């Protein structure tokens, strides 16, 4: 972990999987206690995840979050009472292009998130149990994605073949440029969302909602969808197990998620400086 000049931080926006959570999809007691200490010192704390909002509720409760959170990579901002603050759907044109590219590709499972549900069309694959364990619920099987084209929150190509997803990302980017965001939230997940469905815009919106200047915000993450908020935050923190391309875009690099790297960084760069104010 390297040192970096920072402003007094008043709002922290953190990724969930691979950042706050261990591989078993649960936070350590140290991480829970560190977030509690943040909130006791008057620092706002919230979550930004590729997960659907309803798959974030358990962690919202665990961390005692009482401000809006960002699901679908920032595509949907949800108030504490469950009402929607902001929602951005994927344009149908971009959805059709992505589905056409992904469909029929061996080793790739194609999922659509719409109407609050996780939708699957084809036979289940090896990635489905992993996703169900992380979300806490399973998919709804549909005959076609066509009825949902006007209200898709996210399309996911999932595969244990990470290099294949890198190739698909490179092929899809130019086809949907200006229409959609394409990023790998983790090496085994390729996400397609609306242009404004990104964690950078989510950070801007939440900071404005809270009345916090961007230079007094911090962002923590590990995936390819996290640099969008790194570029906006006053302090950006990459997890130790993140890919090098992600680490290079952060101000500092902390320990891995299994080492409670998020807690380490919060303690060192946010809590410790505030304790001397």
Q: Over the chain (277 residues), what is each successive 10-residue block's mean pLDDT?
A: 64 97 95 96 96 91 95 92 89 98 94 95 92 92 96 96 97 97 91 93 96 97 94 98 96 97 96 72
CB contact at 8 A, 270 and 3: no
Please give the pLDDT value at position 152: 97
For residue 63, the Cα-to-chain-centroid distance in whole angstroms is 16
Please give the pLDDT value at position 277: 56
CA atoms within 13 A on the CB side of 126: 7
Domains in the chain with CATH codes: 11-87+197-275 (3.40.50.1000), 92-194 (3.30.1240.10)
Residue 114's DSSP bridge partners are: 117, 152
Q: How many helices (H) and strands (E) does the chain have?
A: 10, 14
Please give the pLDDT value at position 199: 95
Residue 154's DSSP bridge partners are: 113
Please give the pLDDT value at position 1: 46
Please give the pLDDT value at position 82: 79
What interhelical angle do 162-175 and 92-102 show, nearest 10? 140
Please give the pLDDT value at position 5: 45
* The pair of three-digit structure tokens given for residue 227, joined into one six-digit string: 């640099």
């Amino acid at each position: 972990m390297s040192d970096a000049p920072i402003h007094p931080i008043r709002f922290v926006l953190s990724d969930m999987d691979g950042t706050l959570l261990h591989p078993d999809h649960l936070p350590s007691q140290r991480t829970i206690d560190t977030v509690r200490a943040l909130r006791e010192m008057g620092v706002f704390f919230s979550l930004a995840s590729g997960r659907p909002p309803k798959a974030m509720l358990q962690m919202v409760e665990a961390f005692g979050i009482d401000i809006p959170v960002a699901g679908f990579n920032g595509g949907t901002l949800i108030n504490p009472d469950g009402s929607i603050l902001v929602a951005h759907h994927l344009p149908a044109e971009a959805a059709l292009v992505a589905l056409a590219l992904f469909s029929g590709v061996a080793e790739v499972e194609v999922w659509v998130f719409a109407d609050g549900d996780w939708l699957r069309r084809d036979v289940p694959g090896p990635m489905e149990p992993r996703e169900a364990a992380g979300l806490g619920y399973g998919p709804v099987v549909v005959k076609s994605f066509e009825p949902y084209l006007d209200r898709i929150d996210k399309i996911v190509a999932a595969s244990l073949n990470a290099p294949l997803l890198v190739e698909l990302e490179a092929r899809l980017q130019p086809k949907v440029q200006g229409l959609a965001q394409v990023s790998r939230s983790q090496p085994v997940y390729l996400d397609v969302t609306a242009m404004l469905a990104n964690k950078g815009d989510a950070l801007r919106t939440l900071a404005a909602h809270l009345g916090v200047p961007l230079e007094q915000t911090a962002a923590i993450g590990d995936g390819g969808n996290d640099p969008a908020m790194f570029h906006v935050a006053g302090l950006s923190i990459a997890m130790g197990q993140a890919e090098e391309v992600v680490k290079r875009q952060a101000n500092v690099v902390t320990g891995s998620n299994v080492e409670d790297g998020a807690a380490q960084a919060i303690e060192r760069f946010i809590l410790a400086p505030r304790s001397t104010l």
